[in-house]
Structure 1
């Protein structure tokens, strides 16, 4: 009997949705890179399927932590890029769509048929389409311009590092640990071998190291490097200012990536046409250009 009343309620709510309310709601969670990914996916859906897209950011209100429940995850996208056409769904819309039109596949990559078949869709999880960058690259280029929005917001310490990065053969190294302890962390030898490979192929490289566990990097990676290796540890931004680290990384001329999206987007937005990338083999499919790997 309870199920009957619940179904009747949902049907009645659904009948109140007007024609102009047919749209897709995308769940948004995680750090800045996850927010950028959802924005890109939304623009892709609007262009390819001619559907209006709204975004559910309630995760930041009710959760807002990394997978280890240690670091905050803030909704920074509109703080950095206030001019984005990023429409946030209200609670009424979210409740209806999550109750009636929610799809949560694991992993939710094959969502195309859903958008062709249904007028109303709530896409939960982490849907993605590798063609997004190609399809809307001009939108991304015009709307997500870190240089325009962040350059004037850098403090003196970040300006100093940026100047160092731009005036040498800089190589960004991102060592992600933190919540990746849950999913599997890349071995130290990967970074050490990658540094040695860069030294062989890049003239006078200087390595700029970014990590959410700098102490580990100092004790387990840097100590194993030759004393002739030039490096700079970037530890000036806390977790709430991680987008400054992303900006600094994408200004480096080359990159040694980790197995997370932070390094992926630093690479994607890097404007150096001759950039050299070394990435874990398991990340090959996530990068959009030819890559170098050990």
Structure 2
């Protein structure tokens, strides 16, 4: 049995579930498992936003316990391997490996642990994935729905995602390795690139540090979005997806905001790197424009 683990924040959970959907087309005996103790930020969001449920069956409770022991007590791993329980981890450079979709467990249990942040894993499943990741905004407040209309009606709207808070923390933060990629110089280059291609853009800025953005983007026509906090932070991703063009951070959150965009002629700009100093080639789609910070 093959088990794809779902963990970390919303962007990661979406990539992992998309990987599961694609893998299941090849391997029928494939399941997903919320490892909720590692669902950071706002917990397991796929169920809350897309009605993707974690069945609380005896089997799933057993699988959860098995992986908890496997992950938490390294000394037990030799024993687990002997009885056919193992773990396959994604390579550290997030390089696409097609055999990950085709591998299957003839006997025992294999847990697949990784981010799976390459659209190459989703090839042939794009329509299913976009149908799965549809946000329900009908019951959201009037202020938010009005903003969504403003974004949708602006033909030159550009989302700008700036992630600073957790990226600026030093070790042992899980995210410090992502710092120093989407720098101020990167954003200035991205603005220049957008303005060389389209006329009169309106920037919609999404950030956990709006004050920093206001200070550094003061010469741009920006709409600073600051109404989506905590459990409502997913609404930033939805609004990003409504924008015509995108300037992304090295973040799976804005990755999905751009990927879910409905415009075929969209321009998406992203940092050349995903992790500082690591050559990662498969995270960003080939059509996106990659910029290297000076």
Return the TM-score normalized by structure 1.
Answer: 0.77
Equivalent pairs counted in the alignment come to: 254
SS where residue 286 of structure 1 aligns?
coil
Q: By how many angstroms is 1:115 displaced?
A: 2.9
Q: Which of 23, 29, 41 is 2:19 aligned to?
A: 41
Q: 1:124 to 1:102 in 2, by over 3 A?
A: farther
Q: Does 1:285 align with 2:254?
A: no
| Structure-1 residue corresponding to 2:73 | none
Structure 1 contact 74–240 (Cα < 8 Å) conserved: no
Q: Which of 195, 204, 211 is 2:207 aligned to?
A: 211
Q: Which of 44, 52, 59 is 2:30 aligned to?
A: 52
Bigger relative CO (Cα 8 Å, ≥ 6 apart): 2
| Structure-2 residue corresponding to 1:96 | 66
Distance 1:140 1:114 in 2: 19
SS where residue 208 of structure 1 aligns?
strand
Distance 1:27 1:102 in 2: 13
Q: Which of 182, 185, 204 is 1:189 aligned to?
A: 185
| Structure-1 residue corresponding to 2:197 | 201
Normalized per residue, which structure has more helix?
Answer: 1
Structure 2 contact 246–258 (Cα < 8 Å) conserved: yes
Mapping for residues 75-86 of structure 1, pairs under 5 Å: 75-82=44-51, 84=52
Distance 1:292 1:127 in 2: 21
Q: Does 1:177 align with 2:172?
A: no
Gaps of 5+ in 2: 71-79, 169-175, 275-280
SS where residue 173 of structure 1 aligns?
strand
Structure 1 contact 41–129 (Cα < 8 Å) conserved: no
Q: By how many angstroms is 1:85 displaced?
A: 6.6
- Answer with 1 or 2: which has the greater Rg: 1
SS where residue 161 of structure 2 aligns?
strand
Q: By how many angstroms is 1:240 displaced?
A: 1.8
| Structure-2 residue corresponding to 1:275 | 266
| Structure-2 residue corresponding to 1:3 | none
Q: 1:129 to 1:163 in 2, by over 3 A?
A: closer
Mapping for residues 25-174 of structure 1, pairs under 5 Å: 25-59=3-37, 64-65=39-40, 72-82=41-51, 84=52, 87=55, 90-97=60-67, 99=70, 100=80, 101-105=85-89, 107=91, 110=97, 112=100, 115-116=103-104, 118-119=106-107, 120-127=109-116, 130-146=119-135, 149-150=136-137, 152-168=138-154, 169-174=156-161
Structure 1 contact 54–87 (Cα < 8 Å) conserved: no
Q: By how many angstroms is 1:289 displaced?
A: 4.4
Structure 2 contact 90–113 (Cα < 8 Å) conserved: no
Q: 1:33 to 1:128 in 2, by over 3 A?
A: closer
SS where residue 123 of structure 1 aligns?
strand
Q: 1:91 to 1:208 in 2, by over 3 A?
A: same
Gaps of 5+ in 1: 1-22, 66-71
